[in-house]
Amino acid sequence: MRLFALMSLALVVALPVCAQTPPATRKPAQPDPVAQAWAAVPPGDRKSIQSDLIWTGDYNGLVNGELGARAIASVKAFQKAQGARETGLLNAQQRAALAAAAKARQEAAGWTIVDDPASATRLGVPARLAPQTTPAKTGSRFTSAAGDVVIETFRISEPGATLQSVLEQLKKEPGRRTDYEVLRGDFLVMSGLQGARKFYVRAQAGMPSGSAEVRGVTIVYEQAMSRVMDPITVAMSSAFAAFPAGVVAAAPVRRKVEYATGIVVGASGHVLTDRQATDGCQVITVEGLGPAERVADDKDTELALLRVFGAGDLSPLVLATETPSGADVTLVGVPDPQQQDGGGAVVAARPRIVITAAAAVLEPAPGPGFSGAAVIDGRGRLAGMAQLKIPIVAGPGPTAPQAVVVPAASIRDFLDRHRVGWSAATASGIEAAKLSVARVICVRK
């Protein structure tokens, strides 16, 4: 008890002292001398150092002139490789060594900045590693002689194309496994494995001439080339300019004679087909029926309506009310003459329909001439129209087109808007479908 009383007295005596003791003040954070030293370096020099560190394989980031912790760690990594003290600051001798190492690797790769009119982009290309240049679907393709490096630019200006829709298409590329993806603001980055190869995609959205457009570059290479290509890929990403000033876009190249398939709408001579296949035509002919005129089109659905005057005895199919899925469909169309030794036979194929977030897709995609072909459901009705779309990703060798299905509901809406009703039809089945399609021939100047 006496001990408790003494302790209580001690506390009472100590309280005033505690109350009068001022709170401890926090010392201000000391500025980082390394960061301060880098802040004094001109921004252009800082960007040059970041770029050189990319080429030596020490830095994997943006070339923005901001020498933060990540970039300083890269400087230390370079110093360690040189056997120098890891200070995070480059002296004159180290800076010269960094520039020389980067230049040697750029020269070995044949690094050059290229303006690509096909995609209206500007990009860095390792010309010695990928010396062969050929046209791609919507851009240009740069490849090595062995095909182990493929670089392809692309440009998408289809109605409704967004970075999100492009990302979803990129993720569905056969054999592709995504390890990293970022979609932020107006750009996206995506990388991973495509089969046994590495791939990297960078794309950006913009509004050239007031129209939404997505432009990008895809890089695909063998994993055995990772040591060489990994830093080059980072350099290409930093150098890529999707909407640069001064690059004039090339006009899209169209075949002078293009073949598609048309679907009979009614006895009055109306034929439905693909809008892209009939763009810019000086003469349009529906084989077996005669000359045709394009009387309506729609950019959202990419449908076009032709009129063959004087045509008679045309027999349309029954129009379905829903889009089928799975394998229970038949595609009826007229292949390109080159696919059948100059012939014009109507052919039936059995693809399957895969429903994706963006569209119903036919797999495998049919060959040239089938754009505009009839998609027949299991009951023999017209369930939609096939359209061959230009692919947007690079890969080894020629890239096959993708085939999407314009559903019957969209066809009916399109015709209703243009006051062309679907004729009352009773015909159905594959043989009837073969009688309801015809080859469409477009001749351009």
The band of 18, judged by pLDDT with boundaries at 50, 70 and 90, is very low
Span 220-232, average pLDDT: 96
Of 66-80, 95-109, 230-244, 249-263, which range is least confident? 249-263
Confidence band (pLDDT; 50, 70, 90) for 255?
confident
Domain with CATH 1.10.101 in the chain: 36-106
Q: What percent of the chain has pLDDT over 90?
A: 43
- Calculate what percentage of the chain has a pLDDT beyond 70: 84
Residue 206, token pair as written in the block? 């913009």
CATH 3.40.1000.10 location in the chain: 110-239
Give CATH 2.40.10.120 domain extents, the chain.
257-443
Q: Mind listing the pLDDT tens digit for each residue in 387-437?
A: 987 543 333 333 445 788 888 889 988 988 888 877 666 778 889 889 889
pTM: 0.54
Banded pLDDT at 252 (limits 50, 70, 90): low
Cα–Cα distance, 334 to 342 (Å, whole number): 11
Question: Is the predicted pLDDT of residue 8 greater than 60, yes or no?
Answer: no
Among 18-27, 86-95, 272-281, the least confident range: 18-27
Whole-number pLDDT of residue 222: 96
| pLDDT band with cut points at 50, 70 and 90 for residue 209 | low
What per-residue confidence (pLDDT) applies to 19?
A: 43
The CATH code belonging to domain 36-106 is: 1.10.101
pLDDT at residue 140 is higher than 60: yes
The most confident of 65-69, 234-238, 314-318, by mean pLDDT: 234-238
Return the amino acid letter for 224: A
- Residue 391 or residue 47, greater confidence: 47
For the segment(s) 110-239, the CATH number from 3.30.43.10, 3.40.50.2300, 3.30.470.20, 3.40.1000.10 is 3.40.1000.10
Q: Which residue has the higher pLDDT, 31 or 335?
A: 335
Q: Which of 42-46, 74-78, 300-304, 338-342 has the lowest mean pLDDT?
A: 338-342
Strongest mean pLDDT among 42-56, 264-278, 361-375:
42-56
Is there a contact between 380 and 405 (Cβ–Cβ < 8 Å)?
no
* pLDDT in the model for residue 423: 66
Average pLDDT of the residues in 211-235:
93
Domain 257-443 class in CATH: mainly beta
Highest mean pLDDT among 218-232, 252-266, 293-307, 370-384: 218-232
User: Has residue 17 got a pLDDT over 50?
Assistant: no
Q: Output the average pLDDT for the chain.
A: 83
Provide mean pLDDT across the span 202-223: 88
Q: Looking at residues 202-209, what average pLDDT do you find?
A: 86
